[in-house]
Amino acid sequence: MDDYRDSPIRPYVLTSGRAHPSRNTIRPETLLVVDPDAPRPVSASREQRALLDMCSGVLSLAEAAAHLRLPVSLVVVIASDLVDTGHLSIRSALRHSLPSAELLEKVLDGLRKL
């Protein structure tokens, strides 16, 4: 508990009272990336600037939240705002293909034999 510091600024203040992002595609495993040559938004908050600075490479949203020491739900809203303004890009972490119906049938048959 030595590392815990309560902030005098409540999280809802950082998102202007919004609890939900404008996009549902941003999840904790979503990869964030920013173009290093793109100009930074003039009216960006301290948290937005910090997020843009750390995403000059590729970074997952969960990692960004840990570095910022903010709740993931709050960083989702902040990242969503930056994606909406074109200052941040998102990439899906991995694209998983669904297993074939044949494989699922084999698994189901195996479970029934148990």
pLDDT tens-digit map of 28-76: 888 999 877 777 788 778 888 888 888 877 889 999 989 988 888 888 8
Q: Give the residue-averaged pLDDT of 76-95.
A: 79
**Which residues pair with residue 58 across a beta bridge?**
none
- For the entire predicted model, the pTM comes to 0.63
Model confidence band, residue 13 (pLDDT cutoffs 50, 70, 90): low
CATH 1.10.10: does it fit domain 11-113? yes
**Residue 8: per-residue pLDDT:** 53
Contact assessment for residue 36 and residue 56, using Cβ atoms and an 8 Å cutoff: yes
- pLDDT tens across 63-77, in order? 998 998 888 888 888
Please tell me the distance from the alpha carbon of residue 4 to that of residue 87, in angstroms, as a whole number: 31
Domain ranges of the chain: 11-113
In three state form, how does the secondary structure of 35-92 look? CCCCCCCCCCCHHHHHHHHHCCCCEEHHHHHHHHCCCHHHHHHHHHHHHHCCCCEEEC
Sheet of 59-60, strand order: 59-60, 31-33, 89-91
* pLDDT for 105: 92
pLDDT at res. 2 = 55
For residue 105, CA distances in Å to 98, 99, 112 come to 13, 10, 10
Joined together, the tokens standing for residue 62 give 């969960």
